[in-house]
């Protein structure tokens, strides 16, 4: 009996998807729930599993094709198959594969899944050993360009044209729209993080023991922003047509860098959460974003965003708005610098802060006062407990 595998019904805000990677090829045995193919939308990657046990009979759409909801992807010939290998056996096989080859033995060639269909065809036509071709694609995947460059003798002046992923194209589109639509202005300040660093150092072990997660910097920034947004609600607002929408809640987007591009999962009602809850939510979203399992609803909405270029060493930058939000806070690297405290020069862990905002609805006064409120809270975290 043949079974049709179709594109899942895409969310309302997603028009179509691009076939990113086929994990099985015609003739391969598949087990129910095996990952067949990854579909890349402009927001997330959707995994399509095998609905039944059987053999993949035919693939109807190739990698790079654009597909719509309910479109036919492949056909599976249903039938009994051998049970999937036991995890122990798989681990043993992986360990053996990782063992260096002994004298007289050949190192096995990479799995066929490391070759794109186009690369496999060229390699077969030109009788090239795929194992000798270095892959430059995602996850070490060997592309057609890799095989062609290998045939040409390689060299230091290689070039490869790679089509933008759907996510990267969408990021480019949204960022350019933000620049074209909003009147973006950026204001700066600096914050002395000694009080926060001392708190983290003092309660580090107790916090991990009680909550099972490290006490990071981001949770302090999220709470400080929530408090500042409460005091300056226009920074938490957005434009809808000729109206300003004021939100009486704070859904904070946290920018996460992944191999596929920047994602901004949203922590809902962050104003009602404690530091531990925020740290757990950030860790959860970061893991999902990086392993490709993040859901579309995790990325939708948000009233304000925070991005941390400091993890990459950025000293100062001007973050770009995440529409339809009207403001974003930029964190940066922490540097010990000499500052004057009570008339004395001392070394303190300092960070530059930046707020980019839409000047159409946020005046400079509101943006600057918001940034000062964030600074004051971080330099004296007890203000959060006292509601000051």
50 token code pair: 């095998």
**DSSP 8-state secondary structure symbol assigned to residue 323:** T
Q: How crowded is residue 352: how many other Cβ atoms within 10 Å of its Cβ?
A: 20
Q: How far does Cα 181 stand from its chain's mean position?
A: 25
Phi and psi angles of residue 260, each rounded to the nearest 5 degrees, phi first: -90, -15
Report the candidate in 383, 327, 381 with the shortest Cα–Cα distance to residue 196.
381
Q: Which two tokens stand for residue 309?
A: 């270029």
Q: What's the angle, vertex CA 318, arms to CA 315 and CA 323, rounded to 5? A: 140
CA distance 3 to 52: 8
Residue indicated by tokens 């598949």 = 30
Residues 290 and 355: their CA atoms lie apart, in Å, by: 26
Asked whether the CA dihedral 12, 13, 17, 20 is positive or negative, the reply is negative
User: Which residues are catalytic, by number?
Assistant: 359, 363
Three-class DSSP category at 67: strand
Task: Show Cβ contacts of residue 135 under 8 Å, excluding neighbours closer than 6 positions.
Answer: 110, 114, 141, 142, 143, 146
Sign of CA dihedral 277, 282, 288, 294: positive
CA 109 to chain centre: 32
Q: What is the CA radius of gyration of the chain?
A: 26
Instruction: Give CA 100 to chain center in angstroms.
Output: 35
């Amino acid at each position: 009996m043949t079974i049709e595998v179709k594109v899942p019904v895409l969310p309302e805000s997603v028009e179509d998807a691009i076939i990113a990677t086929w994990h099985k090829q015609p003739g391969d045995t598949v087990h129910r729930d095996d990952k067949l193919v990854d579909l890349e939308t402009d927001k997330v990657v959707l995994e399509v599993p095998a609905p039944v046990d059987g053999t993949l009979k035919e693939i109807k759409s190739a990698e790079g094709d654009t597909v719509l909801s309910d479109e036919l992807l492949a056909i599976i010939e249903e039938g009994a198959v051998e049970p999937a290998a036991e995890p122990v056996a798989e681990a043993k096989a992986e360990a053996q594969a990782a063992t260096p080859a002994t004298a007289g033995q050949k190192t096995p060639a990479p799995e066929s899944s490391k070759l794109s269909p186009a690369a496999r065809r060229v390699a077969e036509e030109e009788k090239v050993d795929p194992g000798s071709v270095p892959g430059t694609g995602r996850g070490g995947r060997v592309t057609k360009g890799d095989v062609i460059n290998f045939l040409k003798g390689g060299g230091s002046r290689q070039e490869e044209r790679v089509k933008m992923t759907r996510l990267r194209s969408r990021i480019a589109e949204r960022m350019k729209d933000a620049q074209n639509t909003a009147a973006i202005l950026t204001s700066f300040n600096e914050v002395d993080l000694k009080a926060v660093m001392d708190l983290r150092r003092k309660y580090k072990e107790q916090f991990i023991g009680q909550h099972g997660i490290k006490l990071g910097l981001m949770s302090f920034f999220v709470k400080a922003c929530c408090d500042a947004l409460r005091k300056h609600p226009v920074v938490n607002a957005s434009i809808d047509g000729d109206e300003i929408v004021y939100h009486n809640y704070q859904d904070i987007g946290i920018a996460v860098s992944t191999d596929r591009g920047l994602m901004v999962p949203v922590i809902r009602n962050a104003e009602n959460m404690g530091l531990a809850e925020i740290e757990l939510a950030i860790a959860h979203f970061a893991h999902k974003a990086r392993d490709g399992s993040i859901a579309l609803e995790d990325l939708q909405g948000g009233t304000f965003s925070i991005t941390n270029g400091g993890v990459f060493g950025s000293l100062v930058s001007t973050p770009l708005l995440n529409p339809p939000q009207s403001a974003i806070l930029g964190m940066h690297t922490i540097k010990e610098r000499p500052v004057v405290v009570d008339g004395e020069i001392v070394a303190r862990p300092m960070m530059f802060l930046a707020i980019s905002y839409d000047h159409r609805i946020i005046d400079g006064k509101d943006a600057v006062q918001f940034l000062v409120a964030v600074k004051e809270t971080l330099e004296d975290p007890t203000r959060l407990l006292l509601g000051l």
